Amino acid sequence: MTIEQIYTGCLAQGAYYIESKGEAAIIDPLREVSPYIKRAEKDRAKIKYVFETHFHADFVSGHVTLAKETGAPIVYGPKADPTFEAYIAKDGEEFKLGELTIKVLHTPGHTMESTTYLLKDSKGKDVAIFSGDTLFLGDVGRPDLAQKAAHMTQEDLAGLLYDSLRTKIMPLANDVIVYPAHGAGSACGKNMMKETVDTLGNQKKVNYALRADMSKEEFIQEVTEGLLPPPKYFPLNVKMNKEGYEDIGDVLKRGTKALTPDEFENLANETEAVVLDVRTQEDFVKGHIPRSIFIGLNGDFAPWVGALIADVNQTLLLVTPEGQEEEAVTRLSRVGFDRTLGFLKGGFESWVKAGKETDTIVSVPAADLKKQLADESAPVFDVRKETEYLSEHLVSSKNTPLDNINEHLNTYPAEQPFYLHCAGGYRSVIAASILKSRGIHNLIDIGGGFDAMKEAGMELTDYVCPTTL
């Protein structure tokens, strides 16, 4: 028996490979499926099933492509209604995989079709659950993302989730291993642990949602409390996962088309494509194409693209580090952005050599801001999350979170220079690029962000642990 977690940090997402006696199953695969096929080939195994725990909202699954390339059926639990061919399993139905058995546990609540897969060994002993977004480590799936009937509220779904956990998962033995679909950093929950594997017994001890003495009313209140609005691209990803999508090979072929500076500029002028610069924030600050948007590959790239660009039908033109064009297109496709038209051949350097117009961002060290504030007041805007800001912030700063920066455009001074910062510099440069694309140029980035400001000894509020907020 082989169980392998294939974890993708950028999406905080876990896919799973299970193999026994030459038969393999994949659970919740990513968009690019070749790694799963190669993994099975390494074991000389045939992929027999593609299991989906639910219609994912935060990424586009590879189920359709993987089924097409391997002939394996796509399996969903009860209540799923995809428009493509799939096997809809019954609650309690079992699937044989070599000497193993995979049992369907319908666990609605996160979504109506949410299903947990229980793995049993050759002797019928429960070994592990692949819990999708039903049960995370330290948390449970948020109940406000489902494509649900109009009469159902998030409280109704939370109530279903309570029942699913108490009747299907908590009765299992404490030594059963929990393999969730996501870890810390995912927007599908609010309190996930950084670990990606645990025992059910430990989760019963540490997970607030699995308290034995918890009433349904308490559960509903705690699970729904403090939920931030989901990213705007989530419903579009659900639609793609439910209805199908373009083959990843076609997306890569189109997106990795090399464009000369003239071709790139002409295509940008002729279309409504967003110029997306995925280099490091340091490189973007030094020089970039005017009105381009920065979201670097070295951060939480795909989720930020989904949250800020939002419309998966938006056409894109890429400025990438040399040799990372395919990586950028692949990671965009994971969250449904398939309409990349090509990349700038030779990178930003070729744009400069061609004599094209460029722009920069003014960035200063935290010590300069400290000196400025000692002499006179200056507007400072913190683009971190509200919880980060409430935990600790510069006394004189205002919070304009990057997640909804477009709602704060009128907050920034029209002419007076103002300062932007985040935790370490990545998000503030994203914010600066968005503001400059909107015609707001009187901004100054704080290099190194809040971390550098703390080191510089600037006046901060008293620290409050985020868990107590």
| Tens digit of each residue's pLDDT (9 = 90 or more) over 87-108 | 999 999 999 999 999 999 999 9
Q: Which domains does the chain have, with CATH numbers?
A: 2-235 (3.60.15.10), 246-353 (3.40.250.10), 363-468 (3.40.250.10)
- Pairwise CA distance, residues 110 & 79, whole Å: 13
**132, two tokens:** 């999708």
Q: Please give the sequence-ordered ranges of beta strands (E in DSSP) within 21-153, or none if there are none.
A: 23-27, 46-51, 74-76, 87-88, 94-97, 100-106, 115-120, 126-132
- Pairwise CA distance, residues 269 & 261, whole Å: 12
The predicted pLDDT at position 310 comes to: 83
Amino acid letter at 73?
P
Is the pLDDT at 150 greater than 70, yes or no? no
Residue 128: strand pairing partners: 119, 177
The predicted pLDDT at position 9 comes to: 82
Q: What is the pTM of this model?
A: 0.88
- Pairwise CA distance, residues 88 & 243, whole Å: 15
- Pairwise CA distance, residues 190 & 192, whole Å: 6
The predicted pLDDT at position 468 comes to: 52
Diameter over CA atoms, the chain: 75
User: Which has the closest alpha carbon to 370: 463, 440, 460?
Assistant: 460
- Pairwise CA distance, residues 44 & 132, whole Å: 27
**339, two tokens:** 């309409």
Q: What DSSP designation does 167 have?
A: I
The predicted pLDDT at position 387 comes to: 87
pLDDT bucket at 465, cuts 50 / 70 / 90: confident
User: Which has the closest alpha carbon to 248: 82, 85, 61, 72?
Assistant: 61
User: Which has the closest alpha carbon to 444: 390, 380, 388?
Assistant: 380
pLDDT bucket at 376, cuts 50 / 70 / 90: confident
Q: What DSSP designation does 111 have?
A: S
* Side-by-side strand order, sheet with 418-421: 363-365, 443-447, 418-421, 380-382, 398-399
Q: To the nearest whole percent, how much of the chain has pLDDT over 70?
A: 98
Q: Which of 8-12, 196-200, 305-309, 369-373 has the lowest mean pLDDT?
A: 8-12
The predicted pLDDT at position 250 comes to: 93
The predicted pLDDT at position 226 comes to: 81
**61, two tokens:** 């699954």
pLDDT bucket at 237, cuts 50 / 70 / 90: very high
* Side-by-side strand order, sheet with 340-344: 258-259, 340-344, 316-319, 274-277, 293-294
Given a contact cutoff of 8 angstroms between Cβ atoms, the answer to whether 145 and 118 are in contact is: no
pLDDT in tens, 180-229: 998 877 777 777 888 999 999 999 999 999 999 999 999 999 999 888 78
Sort 69 into a burial class: Cβ within 10 Å, 0-12 / 13-18 / 19+.
Answer: middle
Given a contact cutoff of 8 angstroms between Cβ atoms, the answer to whether 429 and 281 are in contact is: yes
* Side-by-side strand order, sheet with 23-27: 2-8, 13-20, 23-27, 46-51, 74-76, 87-88
**Assign residue 91 a region: left if phi > 0, alpha if psi is -120 to 50, beta otherwise?**
beta
